[in-house]
Amino acid sequence: MGIYSTSSVEPNPRTTRTRNLFRVGLTRVRTYYKITNILYIVHFLLLELIFKTCRSCPIDLKEAISSVIFASPRCADLPELVDVRKHFTAKYEKDFITSTLELRPDCGVNLMIVEKLSAKAPNTETKIKILTEIAKEHDVKWDPKAVEEELQNSNDLFVSNSDADFISYKS
């Protein structure tokens, strides 16, 4: 048995937690990197046509402008987006700006930006995939189908309309 053998050493919970926190942080950095790249490409399109005299948003720039407007309040790390949004708000119709911020149908926001900046929980399939990767990494044997059923049942609690699910208090 050598110095670097890890067969008899149990995993340190602090190290595992640190690794998991690092992965979460890395995922956030990657997400911001993708969004920044999209916005960087959009930036060049906007520079070319930003100061047109028309009051309505040009069709060829609708996705770019609406994506910047949608991302600006959600990306606090990029204060320049707020400044750009102020310029767009002054230039274009109020209805266009509000429809973009409220994410109304046909607002034109890039779907990847909406997906990456939305604050929603991942679906069951994504949760199972992540848990499977973690289990493989730590050599844990578990049944993904049982966990999937459990996750779906926990979601069903919020969807159920049965009167038996509610407890009433009578004084």
How many helices (H) and strands (E) are present in the chain, helices listed first?
A: 7, 0
* Residue 83 confidence class, pLDDT cut points 50, 70, 90: confident
- How is domain 33-117 classified at the CATH fold level? Ferritin (1.20.1260)
| Whole-number pLDDT of residue 156 | 46
b/e 67-78 (16+ beta carbons within 10 angstroms → b): bbbbbbeebeeb
**CA 95 to centroid of chain Cα atoms:** 26
Question: Which residue type sits at 94?
Answer: K
| Structural tokens at position 49 | 């046509």
What would the mean pLDDT of 101-114 be, rounded to a whole number? Answer: 87
Q: What is the structure's pLDDT at 161?
A: 41
Domain ranges in the chain? Answer: 33-117, 124-155
CB contact at 8 A, 93 and 100: no
Average pLDDT over residues 78-86: 84
Type of residue at 154: S
Sorted by sequence, the CB contacts under 8 Å of residue 18 that are 6+ apart come out as: none
100 burial class (0-12, 13-18, 19+ CB within 10 angstroms)?
Answer: buried
Q: Which of 27, 111, 30, 28 is nearest to 63 (CA)?
A: 111
Burial class (CB in 10 A: 0-12, 13-18, 19+), 66: buried
Average pLDDT over residues 59-87: 86
Alpha-carbon span 35 to 122, nearest angstrom: 19
